[in-house]
Amino acid sequence: MPVDGRELIKAISIIANERNVKVTMKQTTKGAMVCAASAFAAGILLGPVGLAIGGTAGGLMAYKMTNGTFRPLADVLLNDLNDDQQERLVRHVKNALAEFAISDLAMLLPLLMNNANIQQAVLKTVTSFVSNELRCQIID
């Protein structure tokens, strides 16, 4: 029985949940810029005390702006990928697993769930795919 792409993505999602891998849509950069700009502006106006005040205020603003924008990788894989992206991801994962000589789903799922080397190879491939294709940052 050949590997079903949807089942493979569900298995990858389980592993991503177990490892608590999260993604963000470039919100980290925006938050850092807000924090830095706030610290800079307050530092210019108030000197060293302004740096502390501005950094704190900027950090709180960045928190408010980015709160809720970090999502589990599993959620992104299951809900945000269109059919073409799912097919490309499955192809990338199958290529990554080619060295393990796994040809069907009955062999793949138990190995994927229990073998740390295979999990690492799959997660590396998936995080690379998500970073390059979806332009997300990975937080693990």
Q: Quick one: CA torsion of 83, 16, 20, 76, rounded to 10 degrees?
A: 0
- The residue among 21 and 4 whose pLDDT is bigger is 21
Once rounded to an integer, what is the mean pLDDT over residues 99-127? 75
**Residue 123: pLDDT band with limits 50, 70, 90:** confident
Q: What is the pLDDT of residue 1?
A: 46
Mean pLDDT of 45-51: 93
Question: pLDDT, tens digit, for every residue of 4-14?
Answer: 677 788 888 88
Instruction: Locate the domains of the chain by residue range.
Output: 1-25+70-140, 26-68
- Rounded-to-integer distance, Cα 73 and Cα 93, Å: 15
The CA distance from 81 to 105, in Å, is 21
- At 101, the pLDDT band (50, 70, 90 cuts) reads low
Least Cα distance to 1 among 111, 98, 107 occurs for 107
Among the ranges given (20-24, 56-60, 94-98), the one the predictor scored with the smallest mean pLDDT: 94-98
Quick: pLDDT tens for 57-89: 999 998 888 777 777 888 888 888 888 888 888
CA distance 46 to 54: 9
